[in-house]
Amino acid sequence: MVIRAFVLILLVLSVTSYFIPVENVIKKDNEVETPLLVFNDSTMYTLTTDSMNRIVYAKEVYRFEKRDVMHEGALTLKNFDSKNNYVTDVLYSDIIVKREDIYKFFKNVRFKREDFISLNTDELFYNAKEEIVTNTLPFNGNYYNNTIKGDNLYLDMKSYFMKSNNTHFEIDMKNK
């Protein structure tokens, strides 16, 4: 009799435990994505049929499945301006994150076009497909020998149209 009760209790417990849903909880915070490839002192060139228009240099590059993370890098862009003159734009940064055609620059970002404009900020976003540079943080820089400061930069690299919010532009009257 005791054995029948024991077997019956085991049967009831096994049937009820079969129908109780079990959640497979995986904590995503504990997952660390490992890079597919790691490069040191790397240089990447983008070639077209006409020329080489983009060079990316970085001390360390980590290639993940959907993004590339670069440390102490620079992006050099070679284009023609509106007057069909050859210009070189260089974006320096401590950290660069690239997803598809979007480059995100973080920490000590410096933008330099030839010898007449330079901008400094802590974040910058470059869309390589549309050739547009934006940011959401304050920036400062020089335009020829004049000083420029502002917020929320928008810079179209094709037409070289630039705008920002709260812009302060100081013209140096000593150098004419």
What residues does each domain of the chain span? Answer: 34-170
Q: Which amino acid is at 131?
A: E
Per cent of the chain over pLDDT 70 is 91
Asked whether residue 120 carries a pLDDT value surpassing 70, the answer given is yes
- Output the 3-class SS for 22-89: CCCCCCCCCCCCCCCEEEEEEEEEEECCCCEEEEEEEEEEEECCCCEEEEEEEEEEEEECCCCCEEEE
According to CATH, the topology of domain 34-170 is lipopolysaccharide transport protein A fold (2.60.450)
Q: pLDDT by residue (tens digit) across 5-51?
A: 888 898 888 888 888 877 776 666 656 778 888 889 888 888 877 77
pTM: predicted TM-score of the whole model, two decimal places: 0.73
Q: pLDDT by residue (tens digit) across 98-117?
A: 998 888 999 898 888 877 88
